């Protein structure tokens, strides 16, 4: 069955902003799908609200709608474009949910759109727990027993039947909030009580717990001819009870006999057929009782997933690309395997290495969150590593994480048994290292297995790794380690840096010694077939083996260093830039070589670059590649802070750095040098100083004047940054900062800046060729300075700044770029207060806003920067002046608070957002409204709006309340705010604060009486008092804003949507107009 | 203990024995299965071969009493990348190292098995030696070159049953006991137990016959169907087996598996040839030309039937390998004979081809109803 010719135009749904559990893996799959279907000659229509994606690049689709992912907007796109088919299975859960909603609206039927990949009925069958359970019992498979409860009594009765422990899952809360494992009746009261309160429909599911069982995932593909293949079995290191997204996982499965594996394989095929997924990829999760092999099915996702991206990277089999081709009618035996070329895709990959994935968490950024892992996912990113063995891969994954860990045995202090047992039996982000510590404290494999549930196979591997650590340490010095032992250590994945630590020397000494002994990294190919066939795909990993296969060419080549694992502050935006860099290099005939450790990304698609090295971003790994490839240079400015931090060490090791010189980078990053730079250029900076101890800090703060912004130096995303109003809080900060920032070097100085209150913050991105600089975009933040640039919404072009100020910002940006001799991109943050422009910081690299500016202006700035690094001038590239688009582009940030129960939603100088959306419109109101919709804030068009604001803001809030009243809304406010409004002529109904007793505002929010919350507290006690307001709004999915400027913009947006319904426009139409 | 793998062409890799002192000679082949090492070790078709696993970590789930394909280990030597410090599985009753040691078979870890695989892939399967005598690698390579190899030799004699026996009782058998729907004779060239299990499961009474010398007993038994089993080495090394199959060709349904398929091919007048490095693994895609569906199959063969040689044999090709388009199965146009080159009994490997046993049962059922009619 070749491809279908009855469909010509296909609508692809993207997954929207990066959130926990739905990250850039869907850009990877979406991009593959767009490319694959375009290649087949279909016309692609795309909708995705996330501008930082490669899939929303205008050349990926015929028409690209960067519009909110709501059923109404999808319907509008369908009405306008009239596609023949819609492919929703590449857009994550968002894509599936949208397909079902749009189907419910009757839109597909109305416009004759066929849903391909998985039909709405199939989606319902897989997603609805009851339908799924029935389907499984029809084919003789078991799922955990469960029941639905609407009251505590009902919950108790269910538990009487299925026994403790149970999993409690509230129905219809976002991301499984409020659920948990109940081990005791007391736990049940707690979780069931909380769950019932949280659930909008007061309903929870109580499920038999199989906590501690082994968890497995299979990635399965099926075509229209009913050919089914398994791409990869994945085994979770962490047993059931820890979400797979939060588990360390290993591919292939390690501890299953062939019989057990085949049983799982048979079950997967039966499930695929029974659910009726016609074509495409599926993820199926199983639990296995370690005592007797009993098998239960946990769930199936009828779409590509985070795990399928991992499986693709782990095997070299491009699941999403194949899924797209299968969806248009191809059969697996009609599609060639990219890697071997001569064989077909209808086979099962077999691998000859071991793959380990470790998630990366950011509990430290969320005050009040508990570092425990449960059934709801909390990690924000992950690394993958490939080694010939589990030991090698595990080690590589550990240092890929960039958390300051270079080996397993990093927790060296003795921990008392009670505490250690707690850390072992309560899954947490550091459990791997606690396991290592337990071995050091003479725990046995069985003992740790009992506490953790981790399979003894994994534990014994870790134990032997620690034994080798001990042996090395016992040697006391590098000279006493013989070649055999050193080689063994390298083969087990010990990195030079860690060996240096163990042997009291440094990384470079270890490196020189091993090279002298002929212990060199060899590179092996990922080829889907364990070397049975010749492979053509240039996808490599390092190991210490007999044979190297990398075969460097003699072309001119450039190495691009990626951004490593996603984390708050460094995510998809940087990967976007790396991918563009690679594209530009290839377009210009230069061989591009990508190095990255993040399996979710587009950059680690082997299709993107001429060569891909799936490796940690460490000095050692990069030098190993440089030694083999001998590139013309290495690009460090696109991957965020990770590669930037490698610039100096690499340059010292003799590696040419392309673009802005490491010295210039240092000039911008080093506080003292930066201050001198600004002074030289006569530019303003908030008063600032540095200090190491508290007395120094107190003095410095007094000098620069309170309030002050304080932070440890060399951090990204405003990590551990705070605004401090007095000396007492300063002391608190210093005590906390020193403890919390183990990931930052301990003696790094603290930076103290005078905090500019009520200042407008500006981001400017520019390119410079060393001779000339052009500003790419100037963005005005919606929120005032003090809220991290990564968290505030922003608008391009600026709306409230005078042309004079904008010109001044442009002038300063160019001046700084030229003075620093920037070759490539630069990003500057300014604050404007009382007509004065202050420079907050200069980042001599691509910034988070590059994709947004590129989408807003229609120029791909990362490509421009790449060409500059290759020696082109701006003139030659035809880039002359700052683009001035007519349309308005708004970026809004998206936050993960819902995943962290009990955490406040207030924003500050420490970045908390995971992703972003873009809204484009003819005026600010409509663009901002789209951005809000895209971010999941459903702005009300009627109802009651609740206000509670600090005194300073009351006049401005009152104006907003008046405007809202005029628009027909009712106003509800806490007593002080209400009194002020009423006095100033706007009617407001007062309501109790929580501390004033029932019936209070939280009751009102819970009862659905409030349509929008505007809450901007001041001072510790009000912040505390109003916490439950913000949290309840979040948990009840009611839009809220915590800043007055945000509220102002929201009111403009509501007004704009009143005037005219939001309309959809393809990105291409904005830029082709000119 | 240090050990070498030396190939006849002088290619040497270093590793470490995890089974103590030892030495083994044989044809060095690789298997790409990620699971099923115990089944592989006990598969009689590996007689005469040193097997290298491409999946690096082998021994993970230990050894159990059930996952065996014959009475003992059949490989000559075993090569892996890494042996684990501990085996873990609820069915495990022992570990791989002891299992090999007790059988006196050498196991070597630490070898760059990918380099080895690439070497064999580009130069073909080769004679080789595994040895813990590491004084002179060149001498080892020379020794490997003197080993006679598989081509033209009868390896079947070394692994097939010496006496007829009844499955699953494993007792001597001279006649049927009855009580099952079908009576099946399996000609044993080195049969894997799972073929017998698959028949047993389908209500067949199974008697296993040695490949030679039991024609009279066969005639007496007059089975409802015959299965020609898998086995080691070169099918052209066992002309007696071919002759016996020719003798009974038109009497009852026949189902050939692997070597049984090659023997049937030869019996019908075809020819076989040696593949460069064979197919050994659990992920080989095969298309059933009658349904156009693809099945993922378990394979283990170094020889193959030449399709053109069957042009006038009255058969049609039913299965082909989608990787290299080699012949994977045929059936006779008029007689109820069919065979496949791969392993429908799996073990290890996917169960996709299980339906072939049903086809065989159906052939027997058709014949029975015809003879009753
Ligand atoms: N019955 C259960 N007993 C124990 N753990 C469970 C059970 N069901 C799910 N889990 C754990 O919760 C995680 C999330 O559950 P899952 O059904 O996969 O939801 P999601 O849709 O969030 O992936 C699983 O990965 C598993 O570790
Ligand atoms: N002196 C200051 N006055 C007001 N706000 C500031 C000041 N310094 C920093 N900020 C706020 O803190 C945020 C983070 O600071 P920044 O220096 O940009 O750190 P990062 O390196 O994490 O981007 C800025 O986006 C800005 O909102
Ligand atoms: Mg899941
Ligand atoms: Mg900043």
Q: Whose CA is nearest to atom 21 of ligand 2?
A: A716
Mutate which of A174, A187, A235, A243 for ligand 1? The one with the most ligand atoms within 8 Å of its CB, which is A243
Give yes or no for residue A179 having a pLDDT over 90.
Answer: no
Write out chain A residues lying below 8 Å of B66, CB-based.
259
- Measure in Å the smallest separation between the Cα of A208 and chain B Cα atoms: 22
The answer to whether the CB of A1008 falls within 8 A of the CB of A1018 is no
Percent of chain A whose pLDDT exceeds 70: 97
- Measure in Å the smallest separation between the Cα of A624 and chain B Cα atoms: 19
Mean pLDDT of chain A: 94
Ligand 2 binding pocket includes A707 (Cβ within 6 Å): no
Question: Does the interface predicted TM-score (ipTM) exceed 0.85?
Answer: yes
> A113: which DSSP letter?
P
Measured in Å, residue A267 CA sits from the centre of ligand 3 at 17
Whether A291 contacts chain B with CB within 8 A: yes
Flag if A350 and B33 touch (Cβ within 8 Å). Answer: yes
The answer to whether the CB of A594 falls within 8 A of the CB of A613 is yes
Query: Tokens 């009594």 map to which residue?
Result: A153
Whether B65 contacts chain A with CB within 8 A: no
Whether A256 contacts chain B with CB within 8 A: yes
- Measure in Å the smallest separation between the Cα of A349 and chain B Cα atoms: 7
Judged by CB atoms within 8 Å, which residues 91-150 of A form the interface with B? Answer: none
Ligand 2 binding pocket includes A709 (Cβ within 6 Å): yes
- Measure in Å the smallest separation between the Cα of A431 and chain B Cα atoms: 21
**Nearest residue of A to residue B29 by CA position?**
A532
The ligand 2 atom at the shortest distance from the C-alpha of residue A717 is 22
- Measure in Å the smallest separation between the Cα of B325 and chain A Cα atoms: 10
The C-alpha atoms of residue A950 and residue A748 are separated, in whole angstroms, by 36
The ligand 1 atom at the shortest distance from the C-alpha of residue A285 is 18
Whether B153 contacts chain A with CB within 8 A: no
pLDDT-based confidence at residue A718 (cuts at 50, 70, 90): low
Mutate which of A788, A842, A911 for ligand 2? The one with the most ligand atoms within 8 Å of its CB, which is A788
The answer to whether the CB of A178 falls within 8 A of the CB of A901 is yes
Bond into A252 cis (ω within 30): yes
Judged by CB atoms within 8 Å, which residues 268-297 of B form the interface with A? Answer: 281-285, 287, 292-294, 296
The pLDDT of residue A743: 44
Residue A314 buriedness (CB in 10 A; 0-12 / 13-18 / 19+): buried
Ligand 2 binding pocket includes A787 (Cβ within 6 Å): yes
Judged by CB atoms within 8 Å, which residues 360-389 of A form the interface with B? Answer: 388-389
pLDDT-based confidence at residue A739 (cuts at 50, 70, 90): low
Q: Whose CA is nearest to atom 2 of ligand 2?
A: A755
Q: Which two tokens stand for residue A47?
A: 């909708």
**Nearest residue of A to residue B287 by CA position?**
A333
Q: Is B316 a catalytic residue?
A: no
The answer to whether the CB of B22 falls within 8 A of the CB of B8 is no
**Nearest residue of A to residue B114 by CA position?**
A531
Q: What is the DSSP string of A963-994?
A: HHHHTT-EEEEEHHHHHHHHHTT---EEEB-G
Q: Which two tokens stand for residue A415?
A: 């921990």
The pLDDT of residue A349: 96
Give yes or no for residue A744 having a pLDDT over 50.
Answer: no
> From the CA of A716, which ligand is nearest?
2
The C-alpha atoms of residue A221 and residue A318 are separated, in whole angstroms, by 11
- What is the arithmetic mean of pLDDT over A459-479? 97
> A350: which DSSP letter?
B
Q: For an interface test with A, which of B85, B277, B292, B352 has the most A Cβ atoms less than 10 Å from its Cβ? A: B85
Report the residue from B90, B117, B283 with minimal CB separation from A291: B90
> From the CA of A839, which ligand is nearest?
2
Report the residue from A333, A530, A547 with minimal CB separation from B287: A333
Give yes or no for residue A498 having a pLDDT over 80.
Answer: yes
Q: Which residues line ligand 1 (CB under 6 A)?
A: A 144, 167, 176, 207-211, 215, 240-244, 285, 298-299, 375
Flag if A460 and B60 touch (Cβ within 8 Å). Answer: no
Nearest residue to A67 via CA among A1070, A1067, A1074, A1069: A1067
- Average the pLDDT over each of A61-65, A492-496, A778-782, A1042-1046 and give the range with the smallest value: A1042-1046
Give yes or no for residue A980 having a pLDDT over 70.
Answer: yes
- What is the arithmetic mean of pLDDT over A660-679? 93
**Nearest residue of B to residue A464 by CA position?**
B85
Write out chain B residues lying below 8 Å of A348, CB-based.
282-283, 296, 350
Residue A450 buriedness (CB in 10 A; 0-12 / 13-18 / 19+): middle
- Give the residues of chain B that fall short of pLDDT 50: none
Q: For an interface test with B, which of A452, A522, A531, A543 has the most B Cβ atoms less than 10 Å from its Cβ? A: A531
pTM: 0.96
Alpha helices in A705-823 (DSSP H): 727-740, 803-819
Judged by CB atoms within 8 Å, which residues 190-219 of B form the interface with A? Answer: none
The C-alpha atoms of residue A355 and residue A811 are separated, in whole angstroms, by 50
Percent of chain A whose pLDDT exceeds 90: 85
Mutate which of A715, A789, A845 for ligand 2? The one with the most ligand atoms within 8 Å of its CB, which is A789
- Average the pLDDT over each of A10-24, A183-197, A212-226, B100-114 and give the range with the smallest value: A183-197
Q: Is B301 a catalytic residue?
A: no
State the count of interchain CB pairs (< 8 A) between A and B.
166
The answer to whether the CB of A881 falls within 8 A of the CB of A602 is no
**Nearest residue of B to residue A352 by CA position?**
B55
The answer to whether the CB of B312 falls within 8 A of the CB of B269 is yes
pLDDT digits (tens, 9 = 90+) for A871-886: 999 999 999 999 999 9
Ligand 2 binding pocket includes A717 (Cβ within 6 Å): yes
Give yes or no for residue A717 having a pLDDT over 90.
Answer: no
**Nearest residue of A to residue B294 by CA position?**
A227
In sequence order, the 6+-apart residues with CB closer than 8 A to the CB of A130 are none
B366 φ/ψ angles, rounded to the nearest 5 degrees? -60, -45
Whether B134 contacts chain A with CB within 8 A: no
Report the residue from B112, B117, B351 with minimal CB separation from A262: B351
> From the CA of A715, which ligand is nearest?
2
- Measure in Å the smallest separation between the Cα of A262 and chain B Cα atoms: 6
The C-alpha atoms of residue B6 and residue B144 are separated, in whole angstroms, by 7
Q: Is B345 a catalytic residue?
A: yes
* C-alpha angle A1034-A1035-A1039 in degrees, rounded to nearest 5: 35
The ligand 1 atom at the shortest distance from the C-alpha of residue A296 is 1
pLDDT digits (tens, 9 = 90+) for A598-619: 999 999 999 999 999 999 999 9
The answer to whether the CB of A388 falls within 8 A of the CB of A934 is no
- Average the pLDDT over each of A22-31, A125-134, B355-364 and give the range with the smallest value: A125-134
Q: Whose CA is nearest to atom 21 of ligand 1?
A: A299
**Catalytic residue selected from B69, B258, B319, B332:** B258
Q: Which two tokens stand for residue B281?
A: 């693994």
């Amino acid at each position: 069955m070749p491809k279908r010719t009855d469909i010509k135009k296909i609508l692809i749904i993207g997954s929207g902003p990066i959130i926990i559990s739905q990250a850039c893996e869907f850009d990877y799959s979406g991009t593959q799908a767009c490319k694959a279907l375009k290649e087949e000659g279909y016309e692609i229509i795309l909708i995705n609200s996330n501008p930082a994606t490669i899939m929303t690049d205008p050349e990926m689709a015929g028409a690209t709608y960067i519009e909110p992912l709501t059923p109404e907007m999808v319907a509008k796109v369908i009405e306008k474009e009239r596609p023949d088919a819609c492919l929703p299975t590449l857009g994550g859960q968002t894509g599936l949910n949208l397909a079902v909603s749009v189907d419910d609206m009757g839109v597909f039927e109305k416009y004759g759109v066929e849903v391909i990949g998985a039909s709405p009925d199939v989606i319902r069958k897989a997603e609805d727990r009851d339908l799924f359970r029935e389907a499984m019992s029809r084919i003789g498979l078991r799922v955990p027993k469960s029941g639905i409860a609407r009251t505590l009594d009902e919950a108790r009765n269910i538990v009487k039947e299925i026994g403790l422990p149970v999993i409690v899952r509230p129905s219809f809360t976002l991301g499984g909030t409020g659920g948990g494992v109940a081990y005791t009746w007391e736990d049940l009261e707690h979780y069931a009580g909380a769950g019932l309160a949280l659930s909008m429909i007061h309903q929870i599911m109580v499920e038999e717990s199989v906590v501690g069982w082994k968890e497995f995932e299979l990635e399965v593909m099926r075509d229209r001819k009913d050919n089914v293949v398994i791409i990869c079995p994945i085994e979770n290191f962490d047993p059931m009870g820890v979400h797979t997204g939060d588990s360390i996982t290993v591919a292939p499965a390690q501890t299953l006999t062939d019989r057990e594996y085949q049983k799982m394989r048979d079950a997967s095929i039966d499930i695929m057929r029974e659910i009726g997924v016609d074509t495409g990829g599926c993820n199926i999760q199983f639990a296995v009782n370690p005592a007797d092999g009993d098998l239960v099915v946990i769930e199936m996702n009828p779409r590509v997933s985070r795990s399928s991206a991992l499986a693709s990277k782990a095997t070299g089999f491009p699941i999403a690309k194949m899924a797209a081709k299968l969806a248009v009618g191809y059969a697996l035996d009609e599609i060639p395997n990219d890697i071997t070329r001569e064989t077909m895709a209808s086979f099962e990959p077999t691998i000859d290495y071991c793959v380990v994935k470790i998630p990366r968490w950011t509990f430290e950024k969320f005050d009040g969150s508990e570092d425990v892992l449960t059934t709801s996912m909390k990690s924000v990113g992950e690394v993958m590593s490939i080694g010939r063995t589990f030991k090698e891969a595990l080690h590589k994954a550990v240092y890929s994480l960039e958390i300051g860990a270079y080996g397993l045995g990093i927790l060296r202090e003795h921990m008392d048994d009670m505490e250690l047992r707690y850390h072992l039996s309560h899954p947490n982000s550091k459990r791997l290292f606690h396991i290592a510590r337990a071995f050091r404290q003479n725990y046995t494999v069985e003992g740790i297995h009992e506490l953790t549930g981790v399979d003894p196979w994994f534990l014994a591997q870790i134990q032997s790794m620690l034994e080798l650590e001990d042996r090395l340490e016992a040697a006391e010095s590098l000279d006493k380690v013989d070649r055999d032992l050193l080689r063994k250590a390298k083969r087990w994945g010990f990195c030079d840096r860690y060996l240096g630590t163990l042997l009291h020397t440094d990384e470079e000494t270890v490196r020189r010694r091993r090279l002298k002994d002929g212990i060199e990294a060899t590179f092996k190919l990922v080829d889907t077939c364990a070397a049975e066939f010749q492979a053509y795909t240039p996808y490599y990993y390092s190991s210490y083996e007999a044979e190297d296969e990398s075969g460097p060419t003699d072309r001119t080549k450039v190495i691009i260093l990626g951004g490593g694992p996603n984390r708050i502050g460094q995510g998809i935006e940087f990967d976007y830039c790396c991918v563009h860099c690679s594209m530009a290099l290839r377009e210009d005939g230069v061989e591009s070589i990508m190095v990255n450790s993040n399996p979710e990304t587009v950059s680690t698609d082997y299709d993107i670059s001429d060569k891909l090295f799936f490796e940690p971003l460490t000095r050692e790994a990069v030098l190993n590649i440089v030694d083999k490839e001998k590139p013309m240079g290495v690009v460090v400015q696109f991957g965020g802070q990770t590669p930037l931090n490698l610039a100096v060490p690499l340059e010292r090791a003799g590696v040419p750095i392309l673009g802005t010189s490491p010295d210039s980078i240092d000039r911008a990053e080093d506080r003292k040098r930066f201050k001198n730079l600004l002074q030289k250029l006569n530019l303003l900076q908030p008063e600032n100083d540095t200090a190491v101890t508290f007395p120094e800090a107190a003095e410095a703060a007094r000098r620069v004047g309170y309030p002050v912004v304080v932070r440890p130096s060399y951090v990204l995303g405003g990590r551990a940054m705070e605004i401090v109003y007095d000396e007492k809080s300063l002391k608190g900060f210093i005590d906390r900062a020193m403890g919390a920032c183990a990931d930052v070097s301990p003696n790094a100085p603290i930076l103290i800046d005078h905090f500019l209150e009520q200042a407008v913050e500006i981001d400017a991105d520019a390119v410079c060729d060393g001779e000339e600089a052009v500003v790419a975009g100037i963005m005005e933040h919606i929120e005032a300075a003090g809220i991290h640039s990564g968290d505030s919404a922003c608008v391009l072009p600026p709306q409230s700044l005078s042309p004079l100020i904008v010109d001044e910002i442009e002038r300063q940006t160019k001046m700084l770029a030229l003075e620093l001799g920037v070759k490539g991109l630069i990003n500057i943050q300014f604050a404007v207060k009382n007509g004065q422009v202050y420079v907050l910081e200069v980042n001599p690299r691509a910034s988070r806003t590059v994709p947004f500016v590129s989408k807003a202006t229609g120029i791909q700035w990362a490509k421009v920067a790449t060409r500059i690094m290759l020696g082109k001038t701006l003139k030659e590239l035809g880039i002359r002046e700052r683009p001035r688009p007519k349309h308005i582009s708004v970026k809004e940030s998206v936050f993960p608070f819902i995943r962290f129960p009990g955490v406040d939603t207030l924003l500050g100088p420490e970045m908390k957002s995971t992703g972003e959306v873009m809204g484009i419109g003819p005026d600010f109101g409509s663009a901002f409204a789209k951005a809000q919709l895209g971010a999941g804030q459903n702005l009300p068009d009627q109802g009651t709006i609740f206000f509670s604001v600090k005194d300073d803001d009351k006049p401005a809030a009152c104006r907003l309340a008046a405007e809202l009243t005029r628009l027909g809304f009712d106003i509800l406010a806490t007593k002080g705010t209400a009194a002020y409004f009423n006095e100033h002529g706007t009617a407001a109904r007062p309501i109790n604060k929580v501390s004033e007793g029932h019936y209070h505002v939280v009751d009102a929010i819970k009862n659905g009486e409030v349509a929008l919350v505007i809450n901007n507290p001041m001072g510790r006690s009000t912040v505390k008092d109003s916490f439950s307001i913000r949290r309840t709004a979040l948990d009840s999915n009611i839009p809220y804003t915590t800043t007055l400027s945000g509220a102002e913009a929201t009111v403009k947006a509501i007004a704009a949507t009143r005037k005219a319904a939001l309309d959809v426009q393809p990105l291409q139409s904005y830029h082709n107009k000119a | 203990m240090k050990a070498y793998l030396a190939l006849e062409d002088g290619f040497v890799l270093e590793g470490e024995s995890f089974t103590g002192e030892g030495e083994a000679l044989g044809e060095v082949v690789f298997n790409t299965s990620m699971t099923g090492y115990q089944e592989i070790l006990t598969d009689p078709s590996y007689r005469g071969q040193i097997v290298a696993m491409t999946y690096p970590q082998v021994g993970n789930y230990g050894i159990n009493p059930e996952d065996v394909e014959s009475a003992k280990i059949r490989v000559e030597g075993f090569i892996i990348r890494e042996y684990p410090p501990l085996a873990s599985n609820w069915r495990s009753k022992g570990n791989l190292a002891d299992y090999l040691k007790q059988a006196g078979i050498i196991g070597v870890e630490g070898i760059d098995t990918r380099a080895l695989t690439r070497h064999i892939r580009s130069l073909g399967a080769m004679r080789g030696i595994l040895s813990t005598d590491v004084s002179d690698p060149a001498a080892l390579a020379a020794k490997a070159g003197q080993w006679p190899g598989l081509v033209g030799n009868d390896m079947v004699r070394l692994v097939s049953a010496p006496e007829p026996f009844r499955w699953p009782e494993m007792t001597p058998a001279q006649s049927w006991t009855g009580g099952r729907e079908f009576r099946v004779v399996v000609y044993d060239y080195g049969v894997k137990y799972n073929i017998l299990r698959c028949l047993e499961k389908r209500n067949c009474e199974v008697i296993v016959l040695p490949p030679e010398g039991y024609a009279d007993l066969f005639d007496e038994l007059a089975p409802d169907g015959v299965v020609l089993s898998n086995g080691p080495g070169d099918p052209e090394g066992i002309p007696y087996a071919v002759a016996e199959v020719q003798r009974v060709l038109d009497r009852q349904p026949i189902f050939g598996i692997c070597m049984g398929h090659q023997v049937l091919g030869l019996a019908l007048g075809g020819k076989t040839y040696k593949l460069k490095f064979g197919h050994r693994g659990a992920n080989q895609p095969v298309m059933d030309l009658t349904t156009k569906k693809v099945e993922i199959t378990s394979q283990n063969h170094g020889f193959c039937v030449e399709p053109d040689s069957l042009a006038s044999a009255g058969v049609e090709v039913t299965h082909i390998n989608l990787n290299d388009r080699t012949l994977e199965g045929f059936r006779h146009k008029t007689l109820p004979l069919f065979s496949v080159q791969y392993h429908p009994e799996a073990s290890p490997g996917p169960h996709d081809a299980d339906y072939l046993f049903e086809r065989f049962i159906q052939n027997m059922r058709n014949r029975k109803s015809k003879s009753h009619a």
